[in-house]
Structure 1
Amino acid sequence: MENFVVSARKYRPTTFDSVVGQHHITTTLKNAITSNHLAQAFLFCGPRGVGKTTCARILAKTINCQNLTPQTEACNECESCRSFNNNASFNVHELDAASNNSVEDIRNLVEQVRYPPQAGKYKIYIIDEVHMLSNSAFNAFLKTLEEPPSYAIFILATTERHKIIPTILSRCQIFDFNRIQIEDMVKHLRNIAGKEEIKAEDDALHLISQKADGALRDALSIFDQMVTFSGNNITYKETVANLHILDYDYYFKLTDFLLNQDISGTLLLFDEILKNGFDAHNFITGIGEHFRSLLVSKDNVTVQLLQVSDNIKARYAQQANQTSLSFLLSGLNVVSACDANFKNSKNQRLHVELCLLKLAHLNQAVNFAKDFSLNGDVKKKTSVSTGNANGAAETSATPPPQSVLGSNPNGITNGNGQSLATPPNGHPVRTPAPAAPPTVVPPDTSPTAINKMPPVPTVNFPPPPIVEEPSPSRAPDRNVPLPGAKKMVKMPSLKDIQAQLSNPITNQKTNTTTSAEEEPTGPATAVSPEAFQAAWRELTVQKRAEGKMLEYIILDRPVTLDEKQEVLLQVENPVQVDQFNEFRAEFLAALRQRLRNNRLNVRLEVKEQQGGRKLYTSQDKFSYLSEKHPILPELRKRLMLDTDF
């Protein structure tokens, strides 16, 4: 039985023209050979299976060929070419640096460089996986690599260029090999299948090429595996089954479920994928790739970015026409967030299922958002409850169907043209009209409005207490000051005044007057600005001592007293006006009590701070946001919302 040779060796390129997907490398090397501008050292970098060692061997064979063709290709007929094809050439030396990475190995190599070739023009040294050399070996190799004999050429190959020391890189001519494109691999596999008389579907070859991830050697290995599995007929379904790949059908079916908002079908499909042994993270990554393919399929200019067969391109184009751009962009954001947080999730299956549920509702969310455009129309589905006279609630957001209210064969209507359904008892039922949206009334901040304050009671001042001098015959009272000492008069506190205001009937010390808009009357004592500031400050500090910080903040600000016995207090916003009015009567009564002047009054003035506009109420916040986003008032009106103010 003939020994089997894998396709990667059997169909290994032997000329520059047969190298797949590295035309920028082969063209440069051919031009260097033609013009006799060969470098002393080459460094071939790139991922695995892209032709680094193959190009090194072709270069070594071609520069020693005795009969070069005009296309700069080896003749395969001269003695040098025949010896190279039989692995018997003395001018080509290959060294595996992965197993020969010591200083002694490099010294042996340098020793061999001293001897010129017996036949041919060049001695070529191919060092594969050169990044595996130790630092000492690199340093031992530096001198020879920089100044080799004229007949010596070094070709270094590596998959990890960053591990090579810079002194080596500076002495080499560097060639970067690219990943082989899917179309190039498909074409190469189709050519091999034709030579081997194997039938292969294009979709299957595309799937093999994608699985190879840019490495032609891997693609050839998978191709041999599929030939062994399915014989001389490679089909797409057998390739999917053998390679255990999430094929396009899963994602096309999933997208149909998402567009139709079929949550059950979506979750069942995900469960089937997990039961078949596929990884949930790879599934999420595949959804993102599928959405990306649908996105580029929407334009004929970008459809060339799809590296799939023509049949799959047609399916992508068909589904892209059914999918909106908003759905794809929003879906990519949702999938990207799920992919980023997948490893940190403790319940990864639930994490993916939540992502699928969001995707299933994307169309509904996108359509709902479109209805809120300025020229759009919103159909509110939620019902608004309104109470009738008996306390029962009737829903009136949208007219209920006839199956609920009953038919109206007689066409009974009321005066407004509303249809009246007739229930079995014969009494018509009025169909409630839609409720009107709430009206937003901004607060009135004019000086006249903010100074319409509640009435303040007129306080009857008690006469000053009479302090009697103690007689010499009785013992002195400790509570009475000694002769010559200052006489202390106890003033009423805020709690005493508040008690007087709360019980005006039982306590005859206070009398209420009319509203504050009338001119205050009663006894008045001349008040100096210093006494007024001291009394105001004392009452303000007392508020803080009692823990009433809100009242303290309002009062703790500069105030002035004019000749009309009127106090000017500046506040920052209408909210502080309402807050001051809540304790105005109590505070003003205490201020009049301390200064013994019933003509004192407080006038408020709203003045915003210079540091910027402060937003306190919901209406202030709504007005501020409406200035930045003009669509908000229309949105509130259509949704029939209020701002809770």
Structure 2
Amino acid sequence: MSDSAHDETPMLGMDLPEAPAPAASSGPYRVLARKYRPQTFAELIGQDAMVKTLGNAIARDRLAHAFLMTGVRGVGKTSTARLIAKALNCIGPDGQGGPTIDPCGVCEPCRAITEGRHIDVIEMDAASNTGVDDVREIIEAVRYAAVSARYKIYIIDEVHMLSRNAFNALLKTLEEPPPHVKFLFATTEVNKVPVTVLSRCQRFDLRRITPDMLFAHFSAILQKEGVEAEAPAIWLIANAAEGSVRDGLSILDQAIAHADLDGGGKVSAEQVRAMLGLSDRSSIAGLMAAILEGNSGGAIDLARAQYALGIEPVAMVRGLMELTHAITLAKVSRHDDPALAVADRERITDWAQKLGFAPLNRLWQLLLKGHDEVLRANNPLEHLEMLLLRVIYAASLPDPGELAKLLESGGIPAMPVAAAAAATGSERAAADPAPAAGPTTGALTIAQIHRLLESTGHHQLARQVYDDLRILELEPGRLVYAPVSALDGDFARRLGEALFGQTGSRWQVREGTGEGRPSLAQMKAAQRADNEARIRELPVVKAALAAFPDARLVEGDNNQHRSNP
């Protein structure tokens, strides 16, 4: 049964809006959510489409035998069911009226339904009556005509809680009920209602109530209650309600009590923020400024100061996410938050002009991932501090497109290679240009010998020189190399003949003893390792690897020949 059936003062009309009670009243206090429950369809905010459909159905006498109201909590599902019950059973002030979309509210059926005492309007909570036996009682009772009303109406709240057997037992009656019976279902989880039941009902999806509608509704209630409130405070409550009138009225009740105790009777934005545990806008803006400036120490100090004031780390992350969202919307001229002060609007506009979509998107993704981490953390403050550092060092990274442009324009300095060449004793090998093909009698480096062989079609010999040749001595007309198993006994002869053919000079090529200097391939590997180590030390790369631990460095030119020094 409805909780209204157990109201301690049923004759007062628990659902009728009332003027503020005088201070001397001895009656029990009724929370705003019950006191201002809509009593007519005109008072049902945000559901115009449904009201129009019902009005047309009643006017044309095309009433369904079962209605299903679905939507998030607090949007008026149960209230709508009661309004439909009144609309169908209203007889008007003169007792001669029929079904109407505007029930009079004064006839006996209207008053009895409002007070929860009408014998032919039965409310059942499916969360408490889930079994097939509970449904069987309904099936047995529908056979009997209404006692004093036009229709016998069954309101089943949270209908998705019924068991599968209970749903199955109800199907036949739901499909072909007696003409004097109407079923009104309400649920927050319509996906759990069997399709066989959905197909037998006329469904209404009640919409979330927009913040501006809630603002107007709460402002009107505050005026009726004789309570002063700052507009930003009302906007905060409207946004915190998340589309639910009931949730918003519960918060408003609490805010009024808070103001009575601490604020001289006026509801202020500062008090509402403190009550809801929301971070201060100016503090979040300061934290965002520190992030964008790369001020890691300042960001951590601000976070710790907020934490000391009682602001939860996850609330700070949410504040940063809201601000990032606001900046991004401002870039496309779609940001409109009436709760913002002029200074806050100007700051968001300024950031929107300076920041691109790519860094804002990265900032959002980092905060979104960090939100879940902070929410689940054993020590949220530590996780928040690590998140701030990660964001500071990763949010400003260039995206792949920007990075490519920087590389093309020379905006990123090339990695030095002299150290690798010096480590192998081959500065000239790393720097000397390749000679043109053709006879020459000058001194050659091993790199130039490799290129000469490669450019004149001695590809196999060039690969052996690049991969395996470890020089012991190299001077004009003489080359001595370290013994390597990969170089066969005929290698010296073939190399000498190739050099003679290209330089026009006789070359003495022979195998010596000792380790020799690293081959060109080994020098290249050492150079690559050195470059990678230097790249990893760059702040921008350090930040990227810290933010994305699974990332790896990849060479940019995959088409380059592997033997190119």
TM-score, with length taken from structure 2: 0.67
Alpha-carbon deviation of 1:135?
2.0
* Kept in 2: contact 1:25–1:175 (CA 8 A): yes
The one-letter code matched in structure 2 to 1:220 is: L
Query: Do the aligned partners of 2:89 and 2:98 also contact (CA within 8 Å) in 1?
Result: no
Indicate how the Cα distance of structure 1 residues 7 and 586 shifts in structure 2: closer, same or farther if over 3 A, else same: closer
Cα pair distance change 1:451/1:266, threshold 3 Å: same
Measure the CA separation in 2 of the matches of 1:223 and 1:162.
31
CA distance in 1, matches of 2:173, 2:152: 14
Check if 1:28 corresponds to 2:48.
no
Q: CA separation in 2, counterparts of 1:370 and 1:56?
A: 60
CA pair 116-188 structure 1, distance change in 2 beyond 3 A: same
Deviations 1:520-571 (A, max 9, x none): xxxxxxxxxxxxxxxxxxxxxxxxxxxxxxxxxxxxxxxxxxxxxxxx9642
Equivalent in 284, 288, 303 of residue 255 of structure 1: 288
Structure 2 unaligned residues grouped into runs of 5+: 1-25, 420-428, 450-456, 472-479, 503-520, 532-554
Change (3 A) 1:355 1:444: farther
Structure with the bigger percentage of helix: 2
Which residue, out of 307, 324, 328, partners 1:295?
328
Which range moves more in the overlay, 333-342 or 244-253?
Answer: 333-342
Q: Residue 52 of structure 1 contacts residue 157 of structure 1 at CA under 8 Å; is this kept in 2? A: yes
Q: Report the CA distance shift for 1:628/1:4 in structure 2 as closer, same or farther (over 3 A).
A: farther
Partner of 1:325: 355
- Offset of residue 60 of structure 1: 0.8
> How far apart are 1:75 and its partner, in Å?
1.7
CA distance in 2, matches of 1:34, 1:147: 23
User: Which of 222, 230, 233 is residue 193 of structure 1 equivalent to?
Assistant: 222
Cα distance, 1:65 vs structure 2:
1.8
**Is 1:204–1:239's contact at 8 Å kept on the other side of the alignment?**
yes
Of the candidates 498, 511, 524, which is equivalent to residue 603 of structure 1?
498
The answer to whether residue 235 in structure 2 is matched with residue 175 in structure 1 is no
- Alpha-carbon deviation of 1:180? 1.9
**1:628–1:303 distance in 2 versus 1, CA, 3 Å:** farther
Q: 2:91 aligned with 1:66, yes or no?
A: yes
Structure-2 residue corresponding to 1:52: 77
**Cα 1:209–1:151 shift into 2, 3 Å:** same
- How has the CA–CA distance of structure 1 residues 45 and 344 changed in structure 2, closer, same or farther, with 3 Å as cutoff? closer
CA distance in 2, matches of 1:366, 1:208: 39
* Partner in structure 2 of residue 576 of structure 1: 465
- Which secondary structure state, in structure 1, belongs to the residue aligned with residue 498 of structure 2? strand
**Which of 146, 154, 157 lines up with 1:125 in the alignment?**
154
How many angstroms does 1:345 deviate by? 7.1
1:159 matched residue in structure 2: 188
Cα gap change, 1:354/1:243 in structure 2, threshold over 3 Å: closer, same or farther? closer
Question: Which of 165, 187, 207 is equivalent to 2:236?
Answer: 207
Q: 1:376 to 1:66 in 2, by over 3 A?
A: same
Q: Distance in 2 between matches of 1:73 and 1:322?
A: 51
1:55-454 alignment runs, 5 A limit? 55-67=80-92, 72-231=101-260, 232-300=265-333, 302-304=334-336, 308-312=337-341, 315-323=344-352, 324-326=354-356, 327-339=359-371, 341-342=373-374, 349-360=381-392, 373=406, 443-444=434-435, 446=437
Q: How many residues align?
A: 450
- Per the TM alignment, residue 625 of structure 1 is displaced from its structure 2 partner at its CA by 4.0
Distance 1:450 1:170 in 2: 95
Residues 109/439 of structure 1: CA separation in 2 closer, same or farther (3 Å cut):
same
User: How far apart are the structure 2 equivalents of 1:96 and 1:217?
Assistant: 18
Contact 2:87 2:99 survives alignment (8 Å)? no
Residues 357, 628 of structure 1: CA spacing in aligned structure 2 closer, same or farther, 3 A cutoff? Answer: farther
Deviations 1:595-628 (A, max 9, x none): xxx899653899xxxxxxx999589999x94799
Q: Give the aligned partner of residue 475 of structure 2.
A: none
Q: Which has the larger radius of gyration?
A: 1
Q: 1:111: how far off?
A: 1.6
Task: Provide the C-alpha distance between the structure 2 equivalents of 1:603 and 1:81, rounded to a whole number of angstroms.
Answer: 110
Contact 1:66 1:80 survives alignment (8 Å): yes
TM-score (norm 1): 0.60
The counterpart of 1:6, out of the listed 31, 54, 61, is: 31
- Which residue identity does 1:325 align to in structure 2? L
Offset of residue 276 of structure 1: 3.1
2:231 aligned partner, one-letter code: D
8 Å Cα contact 1:569/1:602 also seen in 2: no
For 2:75, the aligned partner's letter is V
Q: Give the deviation of 1:46 after TM superposition.
A: 1.7
Rounded Cα–Cα distance in structure 1 between residues aligned with 2:212 and 2:393: 37
Distance between the aligned counterparts of 1:343 and 1:286, measured in 2?
Answer: 14
The CA distance in 2 between the partners of 1:100 and 1:365, in whole Å, is 57
Alpha-carbon offset, residue 24 of structure 1: 2.5
Tell me the distance in 2 between the aligned counterparts of 1:82 and 1:592. 110
SS in 2 for 1:571: helix
Counterparts of 1:47 and 1:574, CA distance in 2: 71
Contact kept, 8 Å, 2:158 with 2:186, in 1: the verdict is yes
SS in 1 for 2:305: helix
Q: Is the 8 A contact 1:62 1:74 kept in 2?
A: yes
State the alpha-carbon separation in 2 of the partners of residues 345 and 572 from structure 1: 61
What's the counterpart of residue 470 of structure 1? none
Contact 1:575–1:617 (Cα < 8 Å) also in 2: no
**Distance change >3 Å, CA 442–CA 210, structure 1 → 2:** farther
Q: What is the distance in 1 between the residues matched to 2:121 and 2:208? A: 27
State how far apart, in whole Å, the 2-side matches of 1:309 and 1:75 are.
38
Cα distance change on mapping 1:73 and 1:601 into 2, 3 Å: same
Which of 53, 61, 64 lines up with 1:39 in the alignment? 64
Retained in 1: the 8 A contact 2:277–2:312? no
Relative distance call for 1:151 and 1:376 in structure 2 (3 A) is: same
Structure 2 vs 1, CA of residues 340 and 99 (structure 1 numbering), >3 Å: closer, same or farther?
A: closer
The CA deviation string for residues 394-416 of structure 1, in whole angstroms up to 9 with x for no partner, is xxxxxxxxxxxxxxxxxxxxxxx
Partners of 1:70 and 1:41 lie apart in 2 by 16
Shift of 1:342: 4.6
Q: Distance in 1 between matches of 2:160 and 2:489?
A: 91
The answer to whether the Cα contact below 8 Å between 1:101 and 1:134 also exists between their aligned partners in 2 is: yes
Task: Give CA-to-partner distance per residue, 1:321-376, whole Å, 9 cap, x none.
Answer: 14522353342233234335557878754443233235445797679x79975898
Change (3 A) 1:573 1:599: closer
Query: CA 1:343/1:78 → structure 2, altered by over 3 Å: closer, same or farther?
Result: closer
